[in-house]
Amino acid sequence: MIRYAILFEVRVLHDYFLNRGSRVHESLDEAQREALMRSYTSETFLEVAPARYTEKLLAGHNMIFKTTATGFLVAVKTAPSPQQDQPAIALGANFRLAFALRISDPHFFNYTALAASSPTFYRFSNDTGNEVAGDRFLSAPVPDFDATRAYEASEVYADSSGSPVDLFRALRDTGPSATPITQDWERIPPDTWNPSTTYTEGAVVLFDNQLYRALVDSPSNDLSDNTQWALHGTLANRYATAADHRILRPTLFNLDLSGAALSQATVRLFRPGEITAVAERVYSAESGNLDTVQLDLRHLAPGSYRLEVLNSALTVLPGLGSELYLDAEAVREGWFGVIEIGMGSGDSALLNNDGTFRSPQYTLRFLNRATRWRYIFPSAQPVGTGAEVAPEDGDNRFLVTGLPRSLTRFGTGTRLQADMPETPSVSEEVLLPEPQPKRIRRQNAQWYSEIHVSNLPL
């Protein structure tokens, strides 16, 4: 009897589709989470398929690639009894699969918190060591604050000084600065626990990146009281960021050295995590300094490489090095990125040390963008009590939120008029619609969503 087992599975998640407004998916109640997952499919925004050379590798190892609602999996033919818990064909130490990522939604970058000014190729892999709360993330850890870097609105940094790690999102373009400018950043996601709220049994709240479930109706305000609250889990807030950028190149390309003033240069390439070069060549100028040199790397397999440039004294010049992804197919077809799955190590390993299945589940998660919401009316509008918008530059035809708000597919709009507590039998609340991702623009170092609205009586 032929049997197959899951070798690994990849979940591709996006907070735009899974959150509700500012509430992160994990902090929603069970019914809301289940409803969002039932309507979710990652193919809405991202297509995944094996690279051509990976198709051959899959076939040669009796493996099957299958898409799922949340990503994809690879199954493999098992060995005959009694070794049914191992692949029928052993996997070598250099075994590696590559899966092409292609954007299927033209508005993807409008609702995704990836820098618009950054390169558009990303590399994700099970070699990142990015594990938290039982999740194995294919993205690199979110970097700590970089004082030398200019951040674009919606980019994030991590404060890893404590546990769990805190994430902060830029409200506007900011930096470089010695330390984070307080008014330019917000901690995400915001806590949902409110000590003045009366909770019912089973309610889930988020506080300091920890999830708690109420064990009783009307629990106390002491989240550490294990008779009232149970620690439900730690928020695994890990996302794709600029740390996953790679420079995409074909295996034959030109390298510009004109600004380095080098009469001689040595170029070396390394595989990730290795110290022995897989390619090395010395370039010398006939006279003066080098301008552009051609790198012929067609003998190398497609994949990730680290490029180093050294001067005539064989001193590495850090400013000229880069992280590359070499793949003519990816260049030709305009991939957004790649997922590379190798043998891995530790909790992200494909197999146990004895070669038996671990069937790990990996996660790739995208953060939703935050924008200021600008409402555009035909004529000036009155702004009511408790409004969450204000006239822009004194013009009541343009009403805008004071701070960026998270874009989500299923969320809530903003208030133009709050309900009045002194008239409980009458609802005076006026809600403005949530923006769609089609209309977004950068202005004054911030992102804006624009919503055209008919005049509303107030």
**Alpha helix stretches (DSSP H) within 303-359:** 328-333
pLDDT digits (tens, 9 = 90+) for 7-39: 999 999 999 999 999 999 999 989 999 999 999
pLDDT at 139 over 80: yes
pLDDT at 140 over 70: yes
Give the 3-state secondary structure of residue 316.
Answer: strand
Q: Which helix (H) or strand (E) holds 55?
A: helix 52-60
Looking at 43-57, 348-362, 420-434, which range is the least confident one?
Answer: 420-434
- CB 316, CB 280: distance < 8 Å: no
pLDDT value at position 119? 58
Averaged pLDDT, 229-253: 94
Averaged pLDDT, 211-231: 95
pLDDT value at position 371? 97
Give the residue range(s) of CATH 2.60.40 domains in the chain.
251-326
Say how far apart CA 306 and CA 267 lie, in whole Å.
11
Q: How far is CA 357 from CA 73, 76, 85, in A?
A: 14, 10, 6
Q: How far is CA 430 from CA 10, 249, 270, 434, in A?
A: 42, 53, 60, 13
Residue of 53, 43, 57, 52 whose CA lies nearest to 10: 43
- Residues in Cβ contact with 136 at an 8 Å cutoff, skipping those fewer than 6 apart: 126, 130, 347, 348, 360, 361, 362, 363
- Residues in Cβ contact with 393 at an 8 Å cutoff, skipping those fewer than 6 apart: none
Q: What angle do CA 298, 302, 308 make, to 5 degrees?
A: 75
pLDDT at 117 over 70: no
pLDDT at 302 over 70: yes
pLDDT digits (tens, 9 = 90+) for 33-92: 999 999 999 999 999 999 999 999 999 999 999 999 999 999 999 998 776 799 999 999
DSSP-assigned beta bridge partners for residue 316: 310
Cis peptide leading into residue 82 (ω within 30°):
yes
- CB 87, CB 78: distance < 8 Å: yes
Averaged pLDDT, 229-257: 94
Give residue 411's pLDDT band: very low, low, confident or very high (50, 70, 90). Answer: confident
Residue of 344, 321, 326, 371 whose CA lies nearest to 10: 344
SS (H, E, C) 182-223: HHHEEEECCCCCCCCCCCCCCCEEEECCEEEEECCCCCCCCC
Averaged pLDDT, 183-202: 95
Give residue 287's pLDDT band: very low, low, confident or very high (50, 70, 90). Answer: very high
pTM of the model: 0.93
Average confidence score pLDDT of the chain: 94
Pick the CATH number of 251-326 from 1.20.120, 3.10.350, 2.60.40, 1.10.20: 2.60.40
Say how far apart CA 143 and CA 430 lie, in whole Å.
41
Q: What is the dihedral of CA 15, 16, 17, 23, to 10 degrees?
A: 60
pLDDT value at position 116? 67
- CB 213, CB 204: distance < 8 Å: yes
Say how far apart CA 101 and CA 323 lie, in whole Å.
19
Q: Provide the token pair at 367.
A: 């953060």
Give residue 273's pLDDT band: very low, low, confident or very high (50, 70, 90). Answer: confident
Say how far apart CA 332 and CA 251 lie, in whole Å.
12
Give residue 118's pLDDT band: very low, low, confident or very high (50, 70, 90). Answer: low
Averaged pLDDT, 179-202: 96
Say how far apart CA 400 and CA 387 lie, in whole Å.
10
